[in-house]
Structure 1
Amino acid sequence: MTSRKWVNLFLTTLLWGGLITLFVSFFVQNEHYVTAFNPFSIWEVIILMLMYLGLGFIFSVISQMAFFAYLTVHQFGLGMFRKLWAPIQIVLILFTLFDLVYFRYKAVSGEVGVASFFVLPAALLLFGWAVAYLKSKETNSKAFIPALFFMVVITSVELVPAFQADDSDWVMLMLPAVLFCNTYQLLVLHRLNDGETKAEAVQASNTPKKGQKKKKNRKKKSKR
Structure 2
Amino acid sequence: MNLARWTSLFMSTVGLGIAAALAVGTVVFLINPEVSPEQMGAEGIGYNALQTVIVGSLLGAFSHMGFFAYLTVNYFAQGIFRNKWIWLYAQVFLIIVVSVYAAVLRTPVGESFLPYALLPTLVVLGALLVSRIKVQQTNRASFVPTMFFMTAVTLLESVPALRQYNAYGTAMMVLPLFVCNAWQILRLHKIVGPSAKQEPAGRAS
More helix per residue: 1
TM-score relative to the length of structure 2: 0.86
Sequence identity (%): 30
What is the rounded CA distance, in whole Å, between the counterparts of 1:128 and 1:73 in structure 2? 19
- For each residue in 1:75-99, what CA deviation from the matched residue of structure 2 results, as whole angstroms up to 9, or x when unmatched? 0111101321101111111111221
The equivalent residue for 1:42 is 42
After superposition, the CA RMSD in angstroms is: 2.2
Contact 1:159 1:174 (C-alpha < 8 Å) held by counterparts: yes
The equivalent residue for 2:71 is 71
Select the structure of larger CA radius of gyration.
Answer: 1
Please report how far the alpha carbon of residue 32 of structure 1 lies from its aligned counterpart in structure 2 after TM superposition: 9.6
Contact 1:135 1:144 (C-alpha < 8 Å) held by counterparts: yes
- Structure 2's unaligned 5+ residue stretches are 197-205
- Structure 1's unaligned 5+ residue stretches are 198-224
Give the aligned residue type for 1:125: V
| CA 1:54–1:143: 2 relative to 1, 3 Å | same
Give the aligned residue type for 2:72: T
The equivalent residue for 2:95 is 93
| CA 1:54–1:103: 2 relative to 1, 3 Å | closer
Please report how far the alpha carbon of residue 125 of structure 1 lies from its aligned counterpart in structure 2 after TM superposition: 1.1
Contact 1:26 1:33 (C-alpha < 8 Å) held by counterparts: no
What is the rounded CA distance, in whole Å, between the counterparts of 1:149 and 1:26 in structure 2? 30
The equivalent residue for 1:144 is 143
TM-score relative to the length of structure 1: 0.79
What is the rounded CA distance, in whole Å, between the counterparts of 2:98 and 2:181 in structure 1? 17
Q: How many equivalent pairs are there?
A: 193
Runs of 4+, deviation exceeding 4 Å: 30-35
The equivalent residue for 2:23 is 23
What is the rounded CA distance, in whole Å, between the counterparts of 1:33 and 1:7 in structure 2? 40
What is the rounded CA distance, in whole Å, between the counterparts of 1:60 and 1:71 in structure 2? 17
What is the rounded CA distance, in whole Å, between the counterparts of 2:121 and 2:137 in structure 1? 24
The equivalent residue for 2:117 is 118
Please report how far the alpha carbon of residue 195 of structure 1 lies from its aligned counterpart in structure 2 after TM superposition: 6.5
